[in-house]
Amino acid sequence: MKKNIGKADQVIRVLVAIAIGVLYFMNLISGTIAIVLLVLAGIFIVTSIVGICPLYLPFGLSTCKKKE
C-alpha cells in the first residue's frame, strides 16, 4: 500500500496520543471515555508508525508531499 500520512500528520498523531496517555495516567479522564480515547490513541500510534490511514483511502486523501 502507498503511504498516505505525511510527517506533520505523523507528529500530530503521536502528540495527541501522548496527550491522551498523560490525561489517563493523571486520572483526568476515566470510565468509558478513557477507554475510547485510549483505543483512539493506540490507533493513532499504529497509523503513524505504518504511515497508512485506512480512513483516508476511500476519500483519496493524502497528507504526503507530492513528488514531481
pLDDT 10s digits, 42-51: 999 999 999 9
CA atoms of 38 and 50, how far apart (whole Å): 18
Per-domain boundaries in the chain: 11-50
C-alpha cell at 2: 502507498
Asked if the model's pLDDT at residue 68 lies above 70, the reply is no
* pLDDT per position as a tens digit, 16-65: 999 999 999 999 999 999 999 999 999 999 999 999 999 999 998 999 88
Which pLDDT score is estimated for 1? 78
- As a whole number of angstroms, the distance between CA 13 and CA 9 comes to 6
Confidence of residue 67 (pLDDT cuts 50, 70, 90): low
**What does the alpha-carbon distance between residue 53 and residue 43 come to, in Å, rounded to a whole number?**
9
Task: Please tell me the predicted confidence (pLDDT) of residue 53.
Answer: 92
